[in-house]
Amino acid sequence: MNAATPPVIEITGLHKRYGSLEVLKGVDLTARAGDVVSLIGSSGSGKSTLLRCANLLEESQEGDIRFEGEAVRWRGTGLHRHPADPQQVTRIRTNLSMVFQQFNLWSHMTILQNVMEAPVTVLREDRDEVETRAREILAKVGIGDKCDAWPAQLSGGQQQRAAIARALCMRPRALLFDEPTSALDPELEQEVVKVIKDLAAEGRTMILVTHDMAMARDVSDHVIFLHLGKIEEEGPPEALFGAPKSERLKKFLRHDEAA
């Protein structure tokens, strides 16, 4: 990728507060086209908050967020800062598809309907074209035979793969994963890990919040270790996992290995 091409997502100096509690304390993140960036760290370190701020699901109080070179426009300052242009927010969100820990499938829709819903209603794409694409994506993630099933009829791993298919059907510029395997038992977790690895191999731009260090090591181009709202250490996975410098990261990895 040409270095002159703007990153898909670029965050600089981001601060996020809930009242007097500062959760992010000046965080930077860059994901260029085809990059896989993993966010690791203990619970409460700010990983999921950072991901939600990138997708404008949470409002930050300081710092810049750019999507393909376009800066998010803000109104107000501090705790009163909000995005100034709702249409810009909608456009950015439709290009940054989010996959959540708890699947969030609509229980009253079949799996196929779940995957088709946003492209048809939000992007107003042709229903027949969307259906063809949705069926292809469901087959790609290994549940093409579940199109007419209801979410409650699927295992957790199948539901998460349906959620990934739903995100892919929007044809986003980047995929954001918030602990996509943490609600699954180990056997079902591997079903989802395989899909994520396949997407990484395709060159998909992704930001992953994950507790799965093996996946982070295997799929990432860049890993960020957050501690207490700051970047404690970052770099290529072979450096962070193979030769960590920070004592806090060393302790975190030892604890993960022991678990």
DSSP for 45-97 reads SSHHHHHHHHTTSS--SEEEEEETTEEPPEES-GGG-EES-HHHHHHHHHHEE
* Segments making up each domain of the chain, as ranges: 9-258
Q: What is the mean pLDDT of residues 206-233?
A: 96
9-57 tens-digit pLDDT: 999 999 999 999 999 999 999 999 999 999 999 999 999 999 999 999 9
pLDDT of residue 258: 58
**CB contact set of 38 (below 8 Å; sequence gap of 6+):** 207, 208, 209, 210, 215, 216, 219, 220, 222, 223, 224, 237
pLDDT of residue 2: 53
Mean pLDDT of all residues in the chain? Answer: 95
Residue 186 binned pLDDT confidence (cut-offs 50, 70, 90): confident
245-259 tens-digit pLDDT: 999 999 999 987 655
pLDDT of residue 88: 97
57-109 tens-digit pLDDT: 999 999 999 999 999 999 999 999 999 999 999 999 999 999 998 888 999 99
Kindly tell me the sign of the dihedral angle through the C-alpha atoms of 5, 56, 137, 190: positive
CA gap 124, 79 in Å, rounded: 35
Upper half-sphere CA count for residue 31 (Cβ side, 13 Å):
26
**CATH ID of 9-258, from 3.40.50.1220, 3.40.50.300, 3.60.9.10, 3.90.1170.50:** 3.40.50.300
| pTM for the full predicted model | 0.93
98-148 tens-digit pLDDT: 999 888 899 999 999 999 999 999 999 999 999 999 999 999 999 999 999
Above 60 in pLDDT, residue 237? yes
pLDDT of residue 121: 96
Question: Three-state DSSP class for 20?
Answer: coil
CA gap 8, 205 in Å, rounded: 8
